[in-house]
């Protein structure tokens, strides 16, 4: 545990694996670590559920073996409850504790959590103060730009958190209303970085290594965070240090099989464990199929639009690019069962294109 260590020294120059509901499960964090991630954050943890001794919530604050830097993200709106939860999380070896002020899910915003709490800078300041008094590890906040386009309060919110003692600010460069429908506003992220005297970490639309390096060079951020980018291509962490990887379909499958190994080790190989693994694996396969490499002309796909792989280099690559349910289920079951992926189901008859673009992703990073 990094008691007494500054937040900047923990994260400086890193591509951070974002806190994602379901996505930041422990086996996936282990996979990202093996691929080069050095700062990782738990799924969003509800402070009240910890106080109620909910077993599932306690599972979310478990640090993975060998996790180099591990942050826990807490959601709550009562200073004393958040302070209690922060002390508990610190005792479980968290390196820093983040406050969720960005979750857009209706279930949580109706309870005054996540993005709804981000509308109350004064309360946020009091929560940060209470948590800082309860722990020695750094306390940070993760914010959006505001509730919606005509209610931007990011500077006020960031400054209130810093006034309360926050050691750093994570910024998802979109509003709650926007979800993922617009590109992240990195100009606003840079504005926050210039306005507060603590490290700022920018978040939004990081899919290839040049995205990371460009934002580090021009935003004034101490580090950069990725959510969907890591889900689509967990090897993005290796690319940050080694450059773009022209990865083959076979190499991708090796990575996916490694996730299955880690998941079975974590949840167990009995019927219950395998059911859990399949649930998470099927969810991940729904992101892995979205990977499209650098285009033939040297240009790059973007995060905001799902692209079709026009010229797969092999039958396996064609299978991995399919987004229909029969293919996704087949890939899931073959990976879980150790199959060779050599007999995929027929491609369904062509229907009107109903694929959503990536702006409506269901992923909710805290």
Clarify whether residues 49 and 92 are in a common domain: yes
The verdict on residue 363 lying in a domain is no
**Structurally, how many domains does the chain consist of?**
2
Q: What is the dihedral of CA 24, 140, 34, 3, to 10 degrees?
A: -130
CATH number at residue 162: 3.20.20.70
| Annotated active-site residue in 32, 103, 221, 289 | 103
- The yes-or-no verdict on residue 182 having pLDDT over 90 is no
- Render pLDDT for 237-277 as a digit per residue (tens, 0 to 9): 999 999 999 999 999 999 999 999 999 999 999 999 999 99
**Residue 337 burial by CB count (10 A; 0-12/13-18/19+): exposed, middle or buried?**
exposed
Q: What is the dihedral of CA 203, 204, 209, 215, to 10 degrees?
A: -60
CA distance 229 to 205: 7
CA distance 146 to 177: 9
The verdict on residue 1 lying in a domain is no
Clarify whether residues 152 and 287 are in a common domain: no
The verdict on residue 253 lying in a domain is yes
The verdict on residue 2 lying in a domain is no
Encoded tokens for 344: 């995929």
- Render pLDDT for 191-228 as a digit per residue (tens, 0 to 9): 999 999 999 999 999 999 999 999 999 999 999 999 99
Range of the domain at 211: 7-242
The verdict on residue 189 lying in a domain is yes
**Residue 8 burial by CB count (10 A; 0-12/13-18/19+): exposed, middle or buried?**
middle
Q: Is 224 in a helix, a strand, or coil?
A: strand
Clarify whether residues 159 and 180 are in a common domain: yes
Instruction: Decide if 289 is catalytic.
Output: no
Q: How confident is the model at residue 354 (pLDDT cuts 50, 70, 90)?
A: very low
Clarify whether residues 224 and 255 are in a common domain: no
Domain boundary among 242, 262, 279: 242
Q: How confident is the model at residue 334 (pLDDT cuts 50, 70, 90)?
A: very high
Q: How confident is the model at residue 363 (pLDDT cuts 50, 70, 90)?
A: low
Q: Percentage of the chain surpassing pLDDT 90?
A: 87
Clarify whether residues 203 and 109 are in a common domain: yes
Clarify whether residues 264 and 161 are in a common domain: no
**What DSSP string runs through 146-191?**
BSSTT-B-HHHHHHHHHHTT-SEEEEESS-TTTTTSS---HHHHHH
Domain boundary among 242, 272, 293: 242
Encoded tokens for 50: 């910890």
**All residues at 6 or more sequence positions from 251 whose CB lies less than 8 Å from its CB, including other chains:** none
Clarify whether residues 288 and 155 are in a common domain: no
The verdict on residue 362 lying in a domain is no
Clarify whether residues 187 and 329 are in a common domain: no
Clarify whether residues 126 and 152 are in a common domain: yes
Whole-number average pLDDT of the chain: 94
The verdict on residue 260 lying in a domain is yes
Domain boundary among 242, 265, 290: 242
Clarify whether residues 235 and 311 are in a common domain: no
- Render pLDDT for 63-89 as a digit per residue (tens, 0 to 9): 999 999 999 999 999 999 999 999 999
CA distance 140 to 7: 8
Residue 228, pLDDT score? 95
The verdict on residue 361 lying in a domain is no
Give the other-Cβ count within 10 Å of 317's Cβ: 18
Clarify whether residues 232 and 257 are in a common domain: no
**All residues at 6 or more sequence positions from 215 whose CB lies less than 8 Å from its CB, including other chains:** 186, 202, 206, 221, 224
Clarify whether residues 296 and 349 are in a common domain: yes
Residue 304, pLDDT score? 75
């Amino acid at each position: 545990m990094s008691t007494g260590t500054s937040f900047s020294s923990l994260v400086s120059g890193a591509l951070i694996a974002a806190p994602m509901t379901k996505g930041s499960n422990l086996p996936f964090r282990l996979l990202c670590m093996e691929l080069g991630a050095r700062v990782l954050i738990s799924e969003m943890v509800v402070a009240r559920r910890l106080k109620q001794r909910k077993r599932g919530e306690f599972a979310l604050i478990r640090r993975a073996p060998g996790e180099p830097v591990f942050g826990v993200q807490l959601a709550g709106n009562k200073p004393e409850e958040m302070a209690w939860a922060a002390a508990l999380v610190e005792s479980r070896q968290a390196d820093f504790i983040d406050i969720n002020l960005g979750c857009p899910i209706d279930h949580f915003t109706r309870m005054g959590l996540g993005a709804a709490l981000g509308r109350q800078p004064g309360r946020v300041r009091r929560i940060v103060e209470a948590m800082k008094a309860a722990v020695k590890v750094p306390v940070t906040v993760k914010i959006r730009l505001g509730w919606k386009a005509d209610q931007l309060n990011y500077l006020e919110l960031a400054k209130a958190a810093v006034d309360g003692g926050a050691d750093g600010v994570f910024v998802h460069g979109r509003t709650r209303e926007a979800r993922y429908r617009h590109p992240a506003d990195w100009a606003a992220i840079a504005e926050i970085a210039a306005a507060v005297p603590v490290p700022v970490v920018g978040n939004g639309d990081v899919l290839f290594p040049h995205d990371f390096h460009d934002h580090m060079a021009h935003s004034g951020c101490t580090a950069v965070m990725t959510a969907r980018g890591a889900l689509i291509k967990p090897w993005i962490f290796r690319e940050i240090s080694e450059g773009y990887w022209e990865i083959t379909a076979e190499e991708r499958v090796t990575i996916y099989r490694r996730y299955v190994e880690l998941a079975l080790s974590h949840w167990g190989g009995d019927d219950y464990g395998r059911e859990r693994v399949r649930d998470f694996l099927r969810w991940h396969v729904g992101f892995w199929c979205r990977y499209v490499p650098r285009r033939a002309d040297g240009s790059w796909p973007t995060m905001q639009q799902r692209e079709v792989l026009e010229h797969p280099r092999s039958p396996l690559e064609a299978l991995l690019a399919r987004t229909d349910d029969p293919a996704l289920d087949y890939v899931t079951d073959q990976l879980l069962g150790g199959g060779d992926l050599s007999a995929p189901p027929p491609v369904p008859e062509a229907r009107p294109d109903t694929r959503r673009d990536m702006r409506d992703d269901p992923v909710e990073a805290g």
